[in-house]
Structures are given as structure tokens and as C-alpha cells.
Chains A and B, each alone.
Chain A
Amino acid sequence: MSAAEQLQVSTELAQPLFSVRDLTRLYGLEKGCQGVSFDLYPGEVLGIVGESGSGKSTLLSLLSGRCPPDRGTVSYRDTTGNWVDLYSASEAQRRTLLRTEWGFVEQNPRDGLRMGVSAGANIGERLMAQGVRHYGELRAAGIDWLKQVEIDPLRIDDLPRTFSGGMQQRLQIARNLVSSPRLIFMDEPTGGLDVSVQARLLDLLRGLVRELDLAVVIVTHDLAVARLLADRLMVMRRSRVVEAGLTDQILDDPQHPYSQLLVSSVLQP
């Protein structure tokens, strides 16, 4: 790598990919989320933890362009280096972002997959939306991604409903990653899976995140998931971020009383 390239890479990594300022959406007093600000750097995994109703999912839908905020901005630095303000961009731009440079992994794979069409078509959909019109290429991409998420490529023509819950979740991940996104949102990706399947999925996710240098925002109530995947954590309670910092720091030395409660309430087998 030449010096100029190295410089380019280091400036690329030194700039945030995603920047959020004073993001607020309230459905009632302390219902929703308010005053959230953070920067996310390329390749960084941000975990959002907190109890049910603390505003994690509201925050995630605000971040991913699914519901407009009352106040605040969400901006994203696209592949050309320009900053895009998510909510002042046109809907067409937002949709393009969502299916090319971004991904969204739903808690329930049935919401994120097209259940009526085969696994291969699910994986190929983003490519087709981007204008790939070559069946052979779509097929090859399908097989390649099934292998990457450890599903038997022979099942490419099977409907997702014939897959187990863990396989559906992995298929959903493949479907999102096929367009080589830079930023992925995940809403409780391991919810509803049994512990051994969870472990495999987390292992796979961790590998893919490192390998593809993905920036991830992951919402979870499971601190083990957070510890395994996240570089940084934000703890939410009653619509506010009460503590933010490095994962190990928060989990080993929580400062806020609520974080302390959260950490101490994890069952130790």
C-alpha cells in the first residue's frame, strides 16, 4: 500500500460514518426517545441496551429512516464522501440508501424476508433492485451467500417457511449483506432463538462484522450479546441515554445506578 493510499484509508476511518444529534421522538412524557447524540465510525459496533419500553426500538426506527423525528438530525456519509441528512433527503434517496449501503435485520425474520418466494430470490432481491439483470450472476450470489451464512446451498430453491428459526435469521442476514452495505441495523437479532442457536448466530455475526468491516447499530436487552458483539454501549432508560461508553467499561464498572442494576441482574449460571 502506498503512502497516499494509507493516508486515504486512515482519513476514511478517522471520519464518522453516521452522526446523530439531539434525536427526539416522544409519544408521551418519557415515552419514546429524546436528546440522543452519537457518532458511529466505520467498522464500529454500537450496542443499545435497556429495559422494555425504554425507547430502544423507537431510536432504531428513527436512525434507520423509518419514522421521522420530532427534533434532531441523522446524517450519513455515503460512499462518495458526501454527508446526507436522512430526513431532508428525498424519499427516493432514503430508499436507495436503505437497500444498498444500509441493511436492517428484523427481530422476527418473517418481517424481513419475503416468505412467499425462495431463499435465492430473497437474497437476489437487493441485487435486482440495483439493476442486476443476469440470472446466472444472481444465482451465483445466492449460493455464495448461503454458504457464507452456513446454510446448505442445495436449499436455494426452498421457501423460507421450510427453514428453522435460526436458518431464517441467517437468511435474513444474507439478504441484507448481499449488497455489501456499510451500515447494518439489528433489532434483537437473537431474540426467540434457543441458546445454542444464538451462540452460532452470534459467532457468525461477529465473523462477518470483522471480515466485512461493517458498522452496526444493534438493539438488544441481552447483555451477553452486547458484550460479545459491541465495541461501544449506550444504556437507555425512560427515553434517555443514561450512560454511554466502551462495552467492557460499562459492563465491568457501571457508573449510573440503572446500569449497575442492569449488570447485576444478569443471571450467573
Chain B
Amino acid sequence: MSAPAPLDAARAQQLAAEFGLKPEEYERVLVILGRTPSLTELGVFSVMWSEHCSYKSSRVWLRELPTKAPWVIQGPGENAGVIDIGEGLAAVFKMESHNHPSYIEPYNGAATGVGGILRDVFTMGARPIANLNALRFGSPDAPRMKQVIDGVVRGIGGYGNCVGVPTVGGEVNFHPAYNGNPLVNAMTVGIAHSDRIFLSAAAGVGNPVVYVGSKTGRDGIHGATMASAEFSADSEEKRPTVQIGDPFAEKLLIEACLELMATDAIVAIQDMGAAGLTSSGVEMASKGGVGIELFMERVPQREEGMSAYEMMLSESQERMLMILKPGREPEAEAIFRKWELDFAVIGHLTNSGRIVIRHNGVVEADIPLAPLESEAPLYRRPIADTPRSPILEAGDIPDPVGVLPALKSLVGSLDLCSRRWIWDQYDSLVNGQTVQRPGGADAAVVKIEGRKRALAMTTDCTPRYCYADPEEGGRQAVTEAWRNLTAVGAQPLAITDNMNFGNPEKPEIMGQFAAAVRGMASACHTLDFPVISGNVSLYNETEGRGILPTPAIGGVGVLEDAAQAIGLAFDAGLDLVLLGETHGWLGQSLWLREIAGREEGAPPPVDLAAERRAGDFVRARILDGTITACHDVSDGGLLVAVAEMAMGKGVGVALEPAPETIPPHAFWFGEDQGRYVVAVASADDLKIAAAGAGVPAYRLGRTGGGALALDGQGSISVNELRAAHEATLPALMGG
């Protein structure tokens, strides 16, 4: 076999730097190949060794996360994670970022983020049943930011609505730290038969390598490399590296893949995501310990005259690579043709242990696979611990406005206002299985068609806590997801994580990462809530300034009977009870930021043992019908939680005064963790049961009327709260 034509040595070195390879990484390429690489080979090395594909800065830390439990079928390392949810069914899910593309081209960046995560899930043999997202925007006044918000929301809706997967939940924060680097994290949850999971390890020398889906164009070349670089003022020039999504093609691809998966023709399958044909070809062959030979002239092409380099690096969307059993090509092709999709046998597996790329008879690349993986860079980068923030004493922080005026401001503030403007643009009902719609409960609840069983799902992170104390913030993000699933009555089962951080080459950023992982791991352990999939997005910086560390968590739980799920809105004539311990922790609270104008202090600590006690108690009382509405206390504190429950059905509540041991504003707006507000027929009965379970319980008041009345402080009508709550985003975004 003839070796590919190498680049000129000086030119290769210069290109390696342009492609993002560090000098020492390029030296390794030379050692592995024993010669100067060809252009295509240099492209393959640079994307496979990019941060995005290789996890070279994060892998050493991610190993600390718990990934096992008896119900985990597939942990991290595949296209998505898989858990057993009973009755022979499995839930398949993952969350993934599309941050950099969404800033450069908001609509298509966000849309293709949704498309990519959908493929990761149906690649495993699952029918997607729900999409969620976790979004972080900058200050709406920042340049271009409204355009980014509008484009991202339209893009998520445009893709998800068309492809027919309901977008059922998500979260949004606003903070100036994201002004030049918004975060778009998309999550998909799918359902499969637990004995019919499809994996990506190629097997069977001689077996055909099959390309299906849309044609390959020149879009997105080196997208993975871009996603591994910081932004600068010339980011606009990177627009051609953003891919264009076609949700219609994706819908056809879902139906065609699931139809073929109902047969036994597939050996292995992987979507062509970041780094396209390169990563799918390399990873499938590497995992299977085989070689792979590809013929580029057979790749379905959208444009004329594409080179092997361009085809291998293209990130055109809606494409899959499969290994079929020999002789099964005709039946597979018939299915893809029926769905009007391209189908091409573009190569075969070999026993060479190498990836060989040929184009019109010329060898363009010939790389040994083992060292491409084993010699991939792995960095234990220096870390610097985040300095501790002081614990603020509530007594030292005066209340400048009073409790009810503060409440009205808070429910209309950017981080707490109604998200209706956003979810009104997402189809949350398609497929007819959505039990809890956006805004109705702490977690979305989607029934499994034809069964009583349902999945609960949520996305959570509190970046301001993570910035002040990454370990506590990491712990809180996982715990909050667990709490939100609990609050609808679900048994939390597992999480996916989307680690969004700044430049890992800075010790303080790597220190945030390591600490966040430590905090997350502690919560995963205590709550039996393992990580089964995830994604790392680093270099989220613009002009040298990092984002708030944002380890977004996607949690999934199961309900044996969808009819047992509850929402957060209470009816009239019930007792309202607070479960969990309240100290009045104002550090890093939204009250402190929005009302007192201070972003400071240590965030509230999470007591995992207390969390477990309170959560297990709440879940059992939901399932036995005692608790009829439940809302966890999070951003904004207790009174914001009560107000949100009141606004749900427009029912008021008469509240008892705050206990004398805590200043009223700290009692009502402190963000102590591990708490739930629940509605029950009788507070007395619940308090007795709670005492038996070691869970503090405090009667808050009685529901009814049309106002939120605070003993000794006056009242505010629920309609007035609602008006303030609903007005913010439409006013900002122009209806």
C-alpha cells in the first residue's frame, strides 16, 4: 500500500498550529506516523485530539464521578447512557452543549444542538420522547444578546417542533458573565427495550461500513476545533464553521433507523456528530479493535469537488454511520430509500488496526488506530482552589424595602420571572403523553405510551453558587435535580452532566472544575444518583473572561403510575407546610442580589443526609396521596416558592408570621437547601409523620382566597403577582 503524500514539513507544522494542535502534540503525531502527515491525516489528528473530542483536560477528574448502580445498563462512553426503568424498558438520555455555535449563529447553533443530542439518543435504539434544555444568557442589554435569546429559542423550537419530540422542560439564567458566551445545553430522553440497545463498537472483518442520512457538504469543517477555542473579536469570521440543521431529514432518519433497528441487521451504529466521519469512523473501529477502510468517492456529496480532507472533517448534520451484517445491505437500503434518505456502502472493516482513507484510488490517510487513542494527550493541569467566601450573617444585612415589595420585585426579576414567553414557542404536547407541562411542576412528567409508567425529568444548576464555591455548587446542582424529581413523586434514578467551564489552562478554572466534580460526586454517592452520560465544554471565555462555572445537570426519575404525579399549584382549603430546616441563609441569594444589590457570601450548604431524609419522606407522602401539591424551595427562597404555587391556579394563601428567631426577610428569602413546601389536608398529621422521619416541619398557613396575605405585613393579590411575573420577558423581547 502506498503511503499518502505528506505535506511539506514547514507547512505541516504551521497548519498543525492553525488546527489547534500544541507543538508537543504535533511531535507525537510525527512519532506515531514516522513521517510528516498528509493534510487529511493532520485534520484527523487535530479533531480527535481536540478538547471537544478527547476530553484531554477533564478526563482525569471525570473518573471521580460515580457511574454505577444496579439499574445502570450503560454508563458514560457510548453515544448516551442507559438505565433500566422496569417492565423491560430502558431510558436513554444525555445532555450536550452547543455553546460556541449558538453565539456565532443563534438559530442554527441551537437547532443543531437539539438535532445532535436527538441522534445520540436514537442511535442507541431509543425513540426520543422528550427534549429539555439548560440555557444561560448574558444581560439582555449586552450587545446582540436579545438577538441571541430570540434566535436560540426559535432554533430550539424550530428543530424540536418539526421533528415531533416535545420540549417539556428546561431552565434559563441571565448573568453578565455570559454576555459574550451564552450556554445552550440540550438534553434528549428516549425509550428503548432494555434488551435492544445498540452500541458503537464495530465488529466483523469485511463487514460493510454504511453511510445513511443527508449528504455531506462543506459546512462545519473543524467545528470541534472551534468549540475548543476561546472567543475573540473575530469570532464572526467563524460563521462558516456553524452547521445548518434540517429537522425534516432528522425526522426521516429517526423513523428509518428505528425501522431498521427492529430487524437484526445492525452490528454497530454511531451518529456523525462533532468531527463527523472522522470521529465516527475512528471511534467505532477503535472500540471494536478492528481496522477500517473508507472510499471517499462513495460518500453522498452535496457539493462538487470536495476533497477527502473536507469530507472527513465536515460536520454536515443528520448523518449516521453503521456497520451491517454481511448481505443485509439490500433490506437496509430499501428502508432508507423508502424514507427518501441517502444510503451508501462507503467501506468495510479490516484486520489492519488502521484507518485508511482512499479517494479516487489515492490513499489520503493511513493512521494506526491504537496510538491515535492511547497516545492522545491527557493533561492533569495545575489547579488553584477557589478562595472561600465569608458566611454572611442575616442579622448584619438590613431589609431595605420590606417583605411584600421585595416579593413583587423578585417574581418579576429576570432569573425568577415566568418562562412562558419561551415555552409558548415549544411544542410540549406532541405524541400525546405529556402529563406535567412546562411550568406546572418541578419536573416534567412524560408517560410511556401504552403503559402506566412515566418518566420525570429536569435540568438544574445554580451557577452563582458554583462561582462562589464550586464544590458546594456542584453538590447543590445534583441535589436540586434529585429534589425536583422527588417533588413530582418520582424515584430519581440517574443524571447526565454538561460541564460548562472557562479555559482549563488557567489553574483557577481547572480548580473550579475539579471542585465541582468533587461536590457532584458526593451528592451522586449519597443520593444513589449516578452519572450515566455527559459532555464537557471548556474554553467558554470571551476576551479572557470566563463564564460562571456551570455544571448543568439533567436528572431522570421514574413513576410507576403517571396518575400519581403531582404539580406545584395548590387548591384552596389546604394546610401549607414547610419541610426541612430554615436558618435564613442570605449569602448568594437572589434577594441579596436583586434587592440588596450585593453578589457575595458563601452559598447555602447542602446537608446530603438531611436531603435524603426529607426527599424520601416527601416522595412517600406524595405516593400515598397525603401531599397534593409540592414545590422545592430554591432560587428566591421560601416566599417565592409559595408565590409560584399560588400563581399556578390563582389561589391565595394566608401565611403565619416568620418565627421570631430569624429576621423576616431572611426567613422568607433565604435559600437554605433541602426544603419543600407541600399542601396537605392537615398539617398536624403531617407534622407527626415528619417528626417520626426526622424531618423538620413548620406550618406556614392555609390556602384560599385571592391574595398572598402575610400576617402583620399586609397582602398582595395573586393577580398582581402574576402580572409582575408574566410581564418581564414579553416586555423585554417585544411580545
Chains A and B form a bound pair = no
Chain B positions within 8 Å of A, measured between CB atoms, are none
